């Protein structure tokens, strides 16, 4: 797990911002190239649906995995039986987000990000971990 705690010797961070929006919009993503936009995605076989449709392919959009692959089959979803692997996938995706927060860049997150009813229902420990990490980043950003 990546730690966001700052030691007493860590220099002050540039002021980052954390902004919550109702929905992502491709035109805003393109207009605000210095801002990082987070969107929920599948770990494997990305699709062009939902928020991913607006963000995928944009250089300033970061996909955060919340399920294994597209679809409604049981094997499409994460479960807490794979909690260590789920945490690794989440941490890997959030590494770049932590780096840009530390540089003082703005991060934009859809309001329902991490709320994922299916994730909460099928993998509550994974959902809690994702939300904990998002809260750590939001706090680091001063938002």
Please state the pTM of the whole predicted model: 0.83
pLDDT digits (tens, 9 = 90+) for 67-104: 999 888 999 999 999 999 999 999 999 999 999 999 99
pLDDT of residue 112: 84
The secondary structure of 80-115 as a DSSP string is GGGHHHHHHHHHHHHHHHHHHHHTT-EEEEETTTTT
Number of neighbouring beta carbons within 10 Å of residue 8: 4
pLDDT of residue 48: 79
Task: With respect to residue 50, please indicate whether it lies within any of the assigned structural domains.
Answer: yes
Task: With respect to residue 9, please indicate whether it lies within any of the assigned structural domains.
Answer: no
Residues β-bridged to residue 69: none
Task: With respect to residue 4, please indicate whether it lies within any of the assigned structural domains.
Answer: no
pLDDT of residue 2: 43
Task: With respect to residue 10, please indicate whether it lies within any of the assigned structural domains.
Answer: no
What is the domain count for the chain?
1
101 neighbors 14 (Cβ within 8 angstroms)? no
Task: With respect to residue 7, please indicate whether it lies within any of the assigned structural domains.
Answer: no
pLDDT digits (tens, 9 = 90+) for 22-49: 999 999 999 999 999 999 999 987 777 7
Task: With respect to residue 72, please indicate whether it lies within any of the assigned structural domains.
Answer: yes
Task: With respect to residue 123, please indicate whether it lies within any of the assigned structural domains.
Answer: yes
Task: With respect to residue 77, please indicate whether it lies within any of the assigned structural domains.
Answer: yes
pLDDT of residue 1: 42
What is the domain range of residue 92? 17-141
């Amino acid at each position: 797990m990546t730690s966001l705690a700052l030691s007493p010797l860590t220099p002050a961070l540039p002021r980052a911002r954390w902004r919550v929006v109702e929905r992502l919009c491709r035109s805003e993503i393109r207009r605000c190239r210095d801002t990082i936009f987070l969107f929920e995605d599948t770990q494997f076989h990305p699709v062009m649906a939902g928020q991913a449709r607006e963000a995928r392919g944009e250089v300033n959009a970061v996909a955060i995995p919340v399920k294994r692959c597209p679809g409604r089959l049981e094997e499409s979803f994460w479960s807490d039986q794979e909690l260590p692997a789920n945490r690794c996938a989440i941490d890997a995706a959030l590494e770049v987000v932590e780096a840009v927060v530390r540089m003082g860049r703005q991060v934009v997150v859809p309001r329902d990000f991490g709320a994922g009813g299916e994730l909460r229902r099928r993998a509550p420990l994974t959902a809690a971990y994702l939300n904990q990490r998002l809260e750590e980043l939001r706090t680091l950003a001063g938002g």
